[in-house]
Amino acid sequence: MSFFSAIRVALGALLVNKGRSFLTSLGIVIGIGAVIAMVSAGSGARYKLEDRLDSLGKNLILIRPGSRSPQGFTQDFEPLTREDADAIRKRVGPILTGVAESQLTGRLVSTKVGMHGTQIVGSVPDLEKVRNWKVALGRFYTEEDVKKSARVCLIGQTVRHKLFPDSTDPIGKNLNVSGLQLRVIGVLGEKGRSPTGPDQDDQVFMPISTMQNLMGGRKDITLIVSAAKSENLLDKAKEEITKVLRERHHIRSGAGDNFDVSSVREMAELAVIVTTVMQILIAIIASISLVVGGVGIMNIMLVSVTERTREIGIRMAIGATPMDVLIQFLIEAVVLALVGGVIGITLGISGAVGLSRLANPSWSPPASEFSSAIIPLSKPPGSIPSKRCGTNRNGNSLAVKLLASHPEQGVAALPIVEEQALDRV
C-alpha cells in the first residue's frame, strides 16, 4: 500500500469516530494553548519590567541616609546634606552624568480648576540629565533659579491633566502648593509607572532652595540621585561615592556605613532572576498538559487497535504487511496531534493577544510580530502494541511552541524592595 493510500485510509478511520477523535485531540489543544499563553505571559512580565527599569535608568545610583538591614529596615540614620552632594560632584563628577540632591514631600496642589494630591520634588538642574527627563513644553529650572529660590515649577503629565484639563499649554499659569504660588515654566514628557507601581508623571518639580526656604522644608535632603556615564563605570562610581561619604561622615575603618548607596541595575538583576525562574516554572507546569494530551492519544490508539483487531487481520490476510498497518496507525496519531496543535496554536495566540488587549486596550500586534518554531516537547502520543500487529513498539510526537517577540503586557511587574517615593524622582 502506498503512503498516500495509507493517509487516505487513516483519515477515513478518524472520520468514522469524529467525537472520539475530537476529544482525543482536546488534550493537545489545551496543552499547546496553555504553553503559548503562559510563556507569553511570563515573557510579557519580563519585557514590561525591563521597560520600566529603562524608564528609571539602569545606570541610576540612589544615595539615601541610613544603612539598610538585610530585612530592608533603616538603621544608623544620619541625614545627608547638600554639602555631601557637592563633595560627590567635585570628587566623583568626571565619571558621573550628574549629581542631584533632592527633597521629597507629599502636598495638595490646587488651581482654579481643582486640587490634586501629588508628590513635590525639590532638586537641582542636574536632575534633568540624571533621570533623562524630556521637557515636552517650556524649560527646566536653572542654577540661577536655584540661587534665587525662584517661585517656578515643572509638572508631570498626570498633574497637567488633573489641574489643567482644558489647557494645551499651561506654561505661565500658576498653581498653589500649601499656600505658595508657583509659576509653571515647563511640562515634562511622559515616563509612565516605575517598577514598583507609582506614577512617575504624578509629580511637581521645583528648585530645592524654593522648597527649603519658602515652603519650610528641612535643610537636610531625602536622597541624592546620580548616574554613571556608562554601565562599566557603575561599580567604580558606587565605590568612589561610598569612599567620599565615609570620609565626610568620619566613619572609622571597619565600622558600618550610616548611608546606603544602591543602583537600579541591582534591582534589574534581581528582577531578571525572579522572572526567569517564574517563566521556567510556568513553562514546566503548562507542558504537563502536553504530556497528558500525548498520553491520551496513546491510550486511545491502544483502544483503537484492540477494537480493530478483525480489520487488521483482514488487511494482513489480503497482503498488507505489518509495516503497512504500523504506518496507518502512526498517521492517525500524527494527524490527531497536528490538528490539536493547529487549534492549540490559534487559541494560544488568541489568548495572549486577548490578555494584552485587556491590560492595554491601545495595543495591537502587527502580523509580523509572531513567529513559530516546531519543537519536540512530549512523549510520543501514539504507539502500536507489537503483540496485536506483529510489529515493534514505535511512536511519534509533535508539539508546537510559539515564540512571541512582543508578548502580552498585562502581567503586573514584580515588586522590588524599594521605597515607592524614591523611584519616581
- Strand bridging mode 135-138 / 67-68: unpaired
3-state secondary structure of 101: strand
CA–CA gap between residue 52 and residue 286 (Å, rounded): 27
- pLDDT on residue 359: 62
- pLDDT on residue 303: 81
3-state secondary structure of 144: helix
* Cell numbers given for 75: 538603621
Residues of the chain with pLDDT below 70 are 1-4, 6, 52-57, 68-76, 194-197, 217, 267-268, 359-425
Answer yes or no: are the C-beta atoms of 131 and 98 closer than 8 Å. Answer: no
User: C-alpha distances in angstroms, 230 versus 87, 96, 97?
Assistant: 21, 8, 9
259: β partners: 65
Q: Which position has the grid cell 549629581? A: 99
- pLDDT on residue 383: 38
Tell me: the pLDDT tens digits for 402-413?
223 333 333 333
- pLDDT on residue 6: 67
- Taking residue 381's Cβ as centre, other Cβ atoms within 10 Å add up to 30
- pLDDT on residue 20: 78
Chain Cα centroid distance, residue 188: 24
* Cell numbers given for 264: 537600579
Residues 6+ apart with CB under 8 A from 82: 101, 208, 219, 221
Answer yes or no: are the C-beta atoms of 389 and 305 closer than 8 Å. Answer: yes
CA atoms within 13 A on the CB side of 330: 18
Answer yes or no: are the C-beta atoms of 60 and 130 closer than 8 Å. Answer: yes
- Rounded to two decimals, what is the model's pTM? 0.59
Residues 6+ apart with CB under 8 A from 120: 104, 105, 106, 107, 109, 177, 203, 204, 206, 211, 215
- pLDDT on residue 416: 33
- Taking residue 387's Cβ as centre, other Cβ atoms within 10 Å add up to 7
Q: Which position has the grid cell 506654561? A: 171
